[in-house]
Amino acid sequence: MLEIKSLHVKLEEEDKAILKGVNLTVEAGSVHAIMGPNGSGKSTLSYVLSGRDGYRVTDGGATLDGEDLLAMEPEDRAAAGLFLAFQYPVEIPGVGNMTFLRTALNAQRKARGEPDASAPEFLKLVREKAKALKIDAEMLKRPINVGFSGGEKKRNEILQMAVLEPRMCILDETDSGLDIDAMKLVADGVNALRSEGRAFLVITHYQRLLDHIKPDVVHIMSDGRIVESGGPDLALKVEAQGYAHLQEPAA
């Protein structure tokens, strides 16, 4: 589903290479985890894939179902089925959560040539998903993420994911700032979305999230490359040994 080949990325502002040849294939139905020390390029990878400004791809590329992902505008990537759950969800005063989510859903449907969700249909969908994530209906009436706690923001990300039903979900340090109960709630939300046609790329610094979202494949990223890949056991190894041994240049 997601195919990343020899992806090299520099920061636009300064001539600094962040990703130095990332290769990764995520098949439909699978959950991949990327672990790695701070500054290894994990978040950059998520931003480049979702189309944030400020990065320059100097070599390689990424495709989603064979389509050149990096050539698309961010909104087109979303319509194509890509979703990034942000590490730091943005507060947007003045834009209501529900208005935003409905606009997003219908814009994606329109881009795919599907009919709009009617207001009652949309409300029913959101209520159902919000209930599962224990998100208060009152919270949804507020502007996007304004006055939300860290945990509420992360749950709101998962709610958006549940409503928009993307096929390729990237979770960028969704566990950061969450206590164990909130993390379990978020993990349950993610697990409920696991299906044959959907894939996940879970970026995390710690192994603990992976106790709740069981990955099929674990990758270790260091200095802009994937330096090791393996089964779920690899995460446990990292937890036990830390990343220190990776700090040596790998190639």
Partner 1 sequence: MTAALDSKRKAAEALLHTLPLPGREAGWARDARAAARTRLLDAGAPAKRDEYWKYTDPSSLTTPAAVVDGTGDQPEMERQFGEVHPLRARFVNGRFRPDLSDGIVQDGLTTVTLAAVLETDVTFARGLFGTLEAAGQEKVARPLAALNTACATEGLVLHATGPVARPVHLRHDQIGAGASLIRHLVRVEQGAALLLLESGVPTNAVIEIDVAEGGTFQHVRIQEGPRARAASHLFARLGAGAQFKTFTLTSDGDLTRNEVVMEFAGAGAVGHIAGAVLAKGDSHVDNTVFVTHGAEGCESRQVFKNVLTDNARGIFQGKIFVRPVAQKTDGYQISQAVLLNDGAQFSAKPELEIHADDVKCSHGSTTGQLDETALFYLRSRGVPFAEAEAMLVAAFAEAAFEELADPDLAAAMRGHVARWMAERGRAA
Smallest gap from residue 153 Cβ to partner 1 (A): 11
Phi and psi (nearest 5°) for 112?
Answer: -95, 5
Residue 38's SS3 state is coil
Our CB check for partner 1 shows the closer of 62 and 217 to be 62
Rounded Cα gap, residues 189 and 126, in angstroms: 13
Our CB check for partner 1 shows the closer of 99 and 191 to be 99
Binding residues (CB under 8 A) for partner 1: these are 50-53, 73-75, 77-79, 83-84, 86, 89-90, 92-95, 99-101, 103-105, 107-108, 111, 143-144, 160, 164
Our CB check for partner 1 shows the closer of 90 and 240 to be 90
Rounded Cα gap, residues 223 and 236, in angstroms: 21
As a whole number of Å, the end-to-end CA separation of the chain is 28
Smallest gap from residue 93 Cβ to partner 1 (A): 6
Cα dihedral 80, 170, 107, 115, rounded to 10, equals: 70
Residues in the chain: 251
Our CB check for partner 1 shows the closer of 41 and 89 to be 89
Q: Which helix (H) or strand (E) holds 64?
A: strand 55-64
Smallest gap from residue 177 Cβ to partner 1 (A): 17
The residue type at 75: E
Our CB check for partner 1 shows the closer of 51 and 224 to be 51
Our CB check for partner 1 shows the closer of 152 and 223 to be 152
Smallest gap from residue 115 Cβ to partner 1 (A): 16
Smallest gap from residue 105 Cβ to partner 1 (A): 8
Our CB check for partner 1 shows the closer of 105 and 218 to be 105
Say if CB 28 and CB 7 are below 8 A apart.
no
Which tokens sit at 130?
């919000």
DSSP string, 108-163: HHHHTTPPPPPHHHHHHHHHHHHHHTT--HHHHHSEETTT--HHHHHHHHHHHHHH
Smallest gap from residue 47 Cβ to partner 1 (A): 9
Smallest gap from residue 231 Cβ to partner 1 (A): 31
